[in-house]
Amino acid sequence: MEKASRADLEAWVAQWRAVGPELALLRRQQLAIFDLHETIDGFNDAFAAAVSQCPPGLDSGLVEQQRVFSRWNP
């Protein structure tokens, strides 16, 4: 990978300076139409589907984790 020249870096910075306000406007527009409740409902549905396919075990696994850790530390 070749090292960027100073002119390349300056052009890159100028490009981001020019695009920055447009990206900020786009972000504000996206946040204005963002529906938090709809997003949370979607995550809840995805979580419920995952749990239905792979139900949680009866324990948290912490006992097994501690047993593994104890083997590492004599």
23-66 pLDDT tens trace:
999 999 999 999 999 999 999 999 999 999 998 888 888 999 99
pTM listed for this prediction: 0.49
In this prediction, residue 1 carries a pLDDT of 62
Provide the residue range defining the domain that includes 14.
7-72
pLDDT confidence of 19, banded at 50, 70, 90?
very high
3-state class (DSSP) for residue 2:
coil
In this prediction, residue 59 carries a pLDDT of 84
In this prediction, residue 73 carries a pLDDT of 76
Number of independent structural domains in the chain: 1
Query: Does residue 2 lie within any of the structural domains?
Result: no
Query: Does residue 47 lie within any of the structural domains?
Result: yes
